[in-house]
Amino acid sequence: MTSPSLASRGVTSGPAAFPVVNDFSIQVATVNGSGSQTANLVLLRSLFQSGVPVSGKNLFPSNIAGLPTWFTIRACRHGYVGRKKGTDILVAMNPETAHEDVLGLDPGAVVVYDEPLRLNALRDDLVFYAVPFDKLVAPVCPDAKLRKLVRNMIYDGVLAKLLGIELEEVDRALDRQLAKKPKALALNQAALRAGFDYAAANLEKRDPFVAERMQATSGRILVDGNAAAAIGAMMAGVTVVTWYPITPSSSLCETLATYMRRYRMDPETGKATFAVVQAEDELSALGMALGAGWMGARSMTATSGPGISLMAEFTGLGYYAEVPAVIFDVQRVGPSTGLPTRTAQGDILSTAFLSHGDTRHPMLLPSSPREIYEMAIAAFDLAERLQTPVFVMSDLDLGMNTWMSEPFPYPDAPMDRGKRLTPETLAALGEWGRYRDVDGDGIPYRTVAGDGLPPYFCRGSGHNDRAQYSERPGDYVANIDRIDRKFQHARTLVPPPVVERVEGARVGVIGYGTSHWAIVESRDQLREEAGLDTSYLRLRAFPFGPELEAFVAAHDRVYVVEQNRDGQMASLVTLDLDAALAPRVRRVLHYDGLPVDARTITDEILRQEAAAHQEARR
C-alpha cells in the first residue's frame, strides 16, 4: 500500500491539469466479512455503465472474516486496466489500517474516512472528506444487526457525488447486484442516497478527480477469469470435472458446476451430460481426470501451486502413457502455502518440467478473460490432439479479479478430438500400434474402451510401440524420442505469440499472462516519457513457436517481464533460443504478491537500458 514518486500519478502525467477526468484509482480499505463486496462492485459497475474503462482488484487476507481487505477500482480513460501504483482516492473504513493507509498516500490524494477516526489530523497535504457513517446509517437501517452490511453503501453515495457519477447509474448497478433480494436492495438504496445527500450538503469538492460519461465500454462485459475459464470449459464440451478446493482456483470449478447445471442438463431427460466430482485431494483429482481421459472423455481439473506439486507423479504418468487431461493452474504466491490470496506467475518452471525423468508439458498462457475462455477450449483440443496433460496457467489476478472483456464468441470450429483410430484408419494402416508414429508428427492413434476397436494396455512403465511391456533399450529410446517429437510438433499447434513489431525499435519486451496489462501501459510510458520505442511479443504458449527466436534476433535486448523471483519464463526462453541470442535476454521481475504495475516495469527497463548504454560506452 505504498506509493511512488509524484511523477507516476495520474494527477501529474502531462501538465497537472484540473480536473483529472476518468483517470484515478479508488482504494476501499475495509475488513473482510464486512459485506463491502456489494458496495465495491456497485461502484465499479456504475463507472463501467458510464462508459469508463475500469478494473477491480480485491486484495484480501487468507482468512474468512475480520482482517484488513483492500478493494481497488481503477478508472482510466486510456483503457489501462493493469494495477496502478499508488492510490488517488482512499476510502478508509478500517480503523486498524487507516493510519498506515493514509501515511502511504502521495500528496494530493483524497481520503474519504469515517469521521471518528480523525484521519485529517495525520497529514496536511491530502484532501480529506469526513463522513459520519454511523450517524448516517442509523436512520436508514433501523435493524442494528444489518447496519454493518448496509453502512458501506454510504461511501458509494459519497463518491458518486464527489466524482460526479450519475446517481441513476449507481442505482442501476445496485439493482443488478441485489435484484433478487428486494429487502436488502431497499436498505442499500436508502444508504446510497444518504451518502449522496450528505456529500451534497456537507462536502465541498476540493480535489481534481472527476468521472465523466464516455463510450469506451459499450458491448463489453464484466467478468473474472475463473468464470471465463469455466464458460470456456463448458463450451469445450468438458464432461468430467474433478477438483479439490483451493484458493484461488475453487471458484473456477464452482462456477463451472453452476453453469453446467443450467446449460448442460439434457433437455429431454433432465439428466446431466457431465459429472463434477469433488475429490479427496489433488492427487485423486488428477487421477480421476486421467482415468476419464483414458476412457475418451474430455476431463479437467483446476488447482493452484500446492496442488500442482501434488500432481507431479500423475502428470508424469499422463505424459508417458499419453493420456489427455486439462489442468488449470490459477497461480498464487509460493513457495509452499506462501501467500494464498496473492498473485504470481511462479509455477512456470516447475510445471514445465513437472515430474521426474525426462518430461515437459504444454502450457497455455492466458492474459484476459476472453483469452482464457478461448484457451480453455483450445486446451481440450490440444490435450486430445497431443494425448497429454495440458496446463492452462492462469493466476489469482486474472482468476479472481474483475475485468472488462469482449463478450465470449461462440466457438465455430468443430472440436478436435485428436487421432482416434477408426475402422477406416485401421484398414488403411493395416496394422495398428498404439504408440506407433505413422506420419511423422510423433502422435500415434489411440483407441478407447467401448469403441469396438483393438484394445491396448496403458501403462507408465516401459513399452514398445504396440504398448507391450518392454525393457529393451531400443524400444525405450524410440518411444521417448517419439514423445519428444510430439512435443516439438506441439510448437505448431499451440496458440502463437502476439507480436507487435515497432519500426526501428531496438528493444523488445516479452510478456505473458496478466503481466500484459502493465506492459501495455509501460510501453506507452517508455515511449512518452523516455522516447523509447519497444516491440512486444506476448507469449501465449509453451513450447514456443519460431516467432520467438525471430523476435529476439531482431532486437538488441529483450526484456522478459514476469511475476516471479527467478525469471522462470526467461529461463525457458533462454533454453529455447539459439544460444547465440541468449545474451539479449534480460529480466524484469516483480514478485511481492500484488499484480505488477506499469511504473515498476518502466523504471526497471530504463534502469537496465541506462546500464546497457553505459556498458556499451565503456
Q: Which residues bind ligand TPP (CB under 6 A)?
A: 244-246, 282, 306-307, 310, 337
Question: Does residue 277 belong to the site contacting other proteins (CB under 8 A)?
Answer: yes
Going from the C-alpha of 201 to that of each of 115, 118, 169, 378, 577, the distances in angstroms are 16, 20, 21, 55, 64
Separation between Cα atoms, residue 93 and residue 33, nearest integer Å? 13
According to the binding rule CB under 8 A, does residue 129 interact with other proteins?
Answer: no
Give CA torsion, residues 282, 284, 290, 292, to 10 deg: -120
> Which residues 514-543 are close enough to bind a copy of itself by CB under 8 A?
none
The contacts of residue 73 (CB under 8 Å, 6+ apart) are 25, 26, 27, 28, 40, 43, 44, 47, 54, 55, 56
What is the amino acid identity at position 26? I
- Among ligand TPP, other proteins, a copy of itself, none, what does residue 242 contact (CB within 5–8 Å per kind)? other proteins
**Rounded least distance, CB 386 to a copy of itself, Å:** 15
Helices (H), 511-577: 515-530, 546-553, 568-576
Secondary structure of residue 554 in the 3-state scheme = coil
Nearer to a copy of itself, 357 or 409 (CB): 357
Count the alpha carbons within 13 Å of 449 in the hemisphere toward its beta carbon.
Answer: 8
> Considering the rule CB under 8 A, would residue 414 count as an interface residue with other proteins?
yes
The correct pick among 142, 143, 336, 531 for binding other proteins (CB under 8 A) is 336
User: Given the complex with a copy of itself, which of 284 and 309 has the nearer CB atom?
Assistant: 309
Residue 221, interface with other proteins (CB under 8 A)? yes
Q: Is 31 in the site for a copy of itself (CB under 8 A)?
A: no
Q: Does 338 bind other proteins (CB under 8 A)?
A: no
Q: Which of residues 276-315 bind a copy of itself (CB under 8 A)?
A: 305-306, 308-310, 312-313
Site for other proteins in 54-83 (CB under 8 A): 61-67
Backbone angle region of 596, left / alpha / beta, with phi > 0 → left and psi within -120 to 50 → alpha: beta
Based on CB atoms, which residue is closest to other proteins, 391 or 544?
391
Q: What's the gap between Cα 298 and its chain centre?
A: 23
3-class DSSP assignment, residue 199: helix
Residue 18 binds which entry of a copy of itself, ligand TPP, other proteins, none, CB below 5-8 Å type-dependent: none
CB of 109 to ligand TPP, least distance (A): 36
Q: Is 349 in the site for a copy of itself (CB under 8 A)?
A: yes
Per CB under 8 A, the list member of 75, 163, 194, 333 interacting with a copy of itself is 333
Nearest residue (CB) to a copy of itself, 55 versus 355: 355
Instruction: Return the SS3 of 27.
Output: strand
Q: Does residue 585 interact with a copy of itself by CB under 8 A? A: yes
Residue 468 near residue 435, CB atoms below 8 Å: no
Q: Give the relative orientation of helices 36-49 and 153-163 as an angle to the nearest 10 degrees.
A: 30
Cβ-count burial 496-526 (b if 16+ within 10 Å, e if not):
bbebeeeeebebbbbbbbbbbbbbbbbbebb
Number of residues in contact with a copy of itself, rule: CB under 8 A? 69
Single-letter amino acid, residue 155: Y
Q: From the list 14, 107, 139, 357, which residue makes contact with a copy of itself (rule: CB under 8 A)?
A: 357
x/- letters, 448..487, toward other proteins (CB under 8 A):
xxx-x--xxxxxxx-------x------------------
Number of residues this chain uses to bind other proteins (CB under 8 A): 87
Q: Pick one of ligand TPP, other proteins, a copy of itself, none as the site partner of residue 611 (Cβ within 5 to 8 A by kind).
A: none
**Residue 537 phi, psi dihedral angles, 5° rounding:** -125, 120
Listing DSSP states for 242-254 in one string gives: EE---TTTHHHHH
- Contact between 461 and 427 under an 8 Å Cβ cutoff? The reply is no
Residues numbered 466 to 495 that lie near a copy of itself (CB under 8 A) are 471, 473-474, 476-477, 480-481, 484
Closest approach, Cβ 471 to a copy of itself, in A, equals 6
Q: How far is the CB of 591 from other proteins (least distance, A)?
A: 21
- Interacting residues toward a copy of itself by CB under 8 A: 2, 61-62, 305-306, 308-310, 312-313, 316-317, 319-321, 331, 333-342, 344, 346-347, 349-351, 353-360, 459-462, 471, 473-474, 476-477, 480-481, 484, 564-566, 568, 571, 574-575, 579-580, 582-585, 591-594
